[in-house]
Amino acid sequence: MSLIVQKFGGTSVADAERIARCAGRAVRAKESGKQVVVVVSARGHRTDELIDLAKSVCDNPPPREMSMLLATGEQESIALMAMAIHQLGHEAVSQTGGQIGLVTESVFTKAKIKSIDASRVRKELDKGRIVIVAGFQGVTETGEITTLGRGASDTTAVALASVLGAEVCEIYTDVDGVYTADPRVVPKARKIRQISYTEMLEMASLGAGVMHNRSIMFGMKYKVPIHVRSSFTDTPGTMITEEQAMMENIVVTGATVAKHLARFILLGVPHRPGMAAKVFEALTRKNIIVDDIVQSAFQPGNAQMTFTVSKDDRNATQVALDELNAEIGFEKIIVDESIAKVSVVGVGMRSHSGVAERMFRALSSAGINIEMITTSEIKISTLIAEAEADKALRVVHEAFELDKEPANGH
């Protein structure tokens, strides 16, 4: 029997009426003869509210307790969704991350999935039930509750779809697909019909909040098609699939903006082997994920190192560097929190030239200064002032005419 996973995001399950609507979708899929697994997020702004509440009782909440608290948001949703399905005359059973054997590393608040015990979900499905799973959470090998990072219910859904061999993982959200840029910032953004895992992974990692980036890694590895679509309409959304030959014809597929970044500039780093390793070892020990790294040395014995981290990790990064500074002795540590990153992504960049020039020219004609540039095979990123981020995204979107449907593509 074919199996599908349907994931409903926060806005889609914000109130009773919306929960009932999503329950209806799950029931329709079940009645069409499929086995159905539903993954849900916390309702509306529940996670943000819980974070604010935590911060109002403690300046620096212990990550273990933070995961314990945030996991309750999803737990509320699974029970309500199971009840709504019951109301429609079908059998459903709610399951926490721990109950489906979703085991993670023992890092609280940004844990990575280690394994999922597919047999537990299968046993429930075989009883003819719709299984409702709490997104965003798991347990460590010793049974501690962990959470997988903001927006990570997508990852629970795609990981489950992977281990269960689902025919598709449907991501129901408040937009009707993946757009060429965040439609809230760029009103002219266009819905992309089909996008490759590699491009979507880059876009998600570079700020396209519509999908959690690790979910795409699961989809790519296990070749699960992901359908991003609206929970409010029946319009087909965006298919995230393997790359197809025609995709290379399109130079730029999408543009993104990432805010909430902090840039660290280390001046006067002793220019000798092992320094970069020391700096990043210190950050890894604190589970800090480092974004772009640039190092250059143009004075003898003296190097400059720049990297970006999420603003959430700003304090932990500062502490790690201060500890290291006592040992190494940098000349200066500068922190800049007023930056943002605007990027363009597309597999077509592999075979087309002039993309960087077009992007830089567009930014310069809008009077936007570029602080730092980083590239990979399929993306170009620029660090700019945060105050100009949205304008920069619109300018770049316009420069690559992303609002126009490509003649031969997605």
Contacting positions for ligand ASP (CB under 6 A):
9-10, 41-42, 47, 73, 135-136, 150-153
Please report how close the Cβ of residue 150 comes to ligand ASP at its closest, in angstroms.
4
Order of all β-strands in the sheet with 302-310: 290-299, 302-310, 261-270, 332-336
DSSP H helical ranges for 138-292: 153-164, 197-205, 213-222, 275-285
The torsion defined by the Cα of 79, 85, 91 and 95, in degrees rounded to 10, comes to -30
Q: Which is nearer to ligand ADP, 102 or 203 (CB)?
A: 203
Please report how close the Cβ of residue 10 comes to ligand ASP at its closest, in angstroms.
5
Q: Which is nearer to ligand ASP, 14 or 347 (CB)?
A: 14
Kindly report the number of other CB atoms within 10 A of residue 104's CB atom: 25
- Give the contacts of 30 (CB within 8 A, at least 6 positions apart): 36, 90, 130
Tokens matching residue 247: 């995709």
What one-character DSSP code corresponds to residue 166? Answer: -
Cα–Cα distance for residue pair 126/108, rounded to 1 Å = 33
Mark 236-255 with x for binding to ligand ADP (rule: CB under 6 A) and - for no binding: ------------------x-
Among 184, 223, 259, 350, binds ligand ADP (CB under 6 A): 184
Among 97, 98, 138, 151, binds Mg ion (CB under 5 A): 151
The torsion defined by the Cα of 409, 354, 378 and 202, in degrees rounded to 10, comes to -80
Please report how close the Cβ of residue 171 comes to Mg ion at its closest, in angstroms.
8
Please report how close the Cβ of residue 96 comes to ligand ASP at its closest, in angstroms.
14
Please report how close the Cβ of residue 136 comes to ligand ASP at its closest, in angstroms.
4
Q: Which is nearer to ligand ASP, 158 or 399 (CB)?
A: 158
38 interacts with ligand ADP by CB under 6 A = no
| CB closest to ligand ADP, residue no | 9
Among 31, 48, 91, 174, binds ligand ADP (CB under 6 A): 174
Please report how close the Cβ of residue 300 comes to ligand ADP at its closest, in angstroms.
45
Tokens matching residue 175: 């937009």
Kindly report the number of other CB atoms within 10 A of residue 377's CB atom: 9
Q: Which does 11 bind (CB under 5 to 8 A by kind): ligand ASP, Mg ion, ligand ADP, none?
A: ligand ADP
Q: Which of 11, 70, 4, 68 is nearest to 31 (CA)?
A: 4
Cα–Cα distance for residue pair 169/162, rounded to 1 Å = 9
Q: Which is nearer to ligand ADP, 179 or 307 (CB)?
A: 179
Q: Which is nearer to ligand ASP, 184 or 361 (CB)?
A: 184
Q: Which is nearer to ligand ADP, 43 or 90 (CB)?
A: 43
DSSP H helical ranges for 286-399: 314-328, 355-365, 389-399
Q: Which is nearer to ligand ASP, 204 or 384 (CB)?
A: 204
Angle among Cα 350, 356, 357 to the nearest 5 degrees reads 130
Q: Which does 174 bind (CB under 5 to 8 A by kind): ligand ASP, Mg ion, ligand ADP, none?
A: ligand ADP
Q: Which of 318, 8, 315 is nearest to 154 (CA)?
A: 8
Cα–Cα distance for residue pair 382/169, rounded to 1 Å = 33
| CB closest to Mg ion, residue no | 151
Q: Which is nearer to Mg ion, 8 or 330 (CB)?
A: 8
Q: Which does 313 bind (CB under 5 to 8 A by kind): Mg ion, ligand ASP, ligand ADP, none?
A: none
254 interacts with Mg ion by CB under 5 A = no
From the list 3-11, 67-75, 126-134, 352-360, the region that binds ligand ADP by CB under 6 A is 3-11
Cα–Cα distance for residue pair 326/330, rounded to 1 Å = 9
Cα–Cα distance for residue pair 237/348, rounded to 1 Å = 22
136 interacts with ligand ADP by CB under 6 A = no
Cβ–Cβ < 8 Å for 371, 383: yes
Angle between helices 213-222 and 197-205 (to 10 degrees): 160
Q: Which does 178 bind (CB under 5 to 8 A by kind): ligand ASP, Mg ion, ligand ADP, none?
A: ligand ADP
From the list 19-27, 202-210, 216-224, 372-380, the region that binds ligand ADP by CB under 6 A is 202-210
Cα–Cα distance for residue pair 346/409, rounded to 1 Å = 12
156 interacts with ligand ADP by CB under 6 A = no
Which stretches of the chain bind ligand ADP, using CB under 6 A? 9-12, 41, 151, 173-175, 178-179, 181-184, 208-210, 254
Which stretches of the chain bind Mg ion, using CB under 5 A? 9, 151
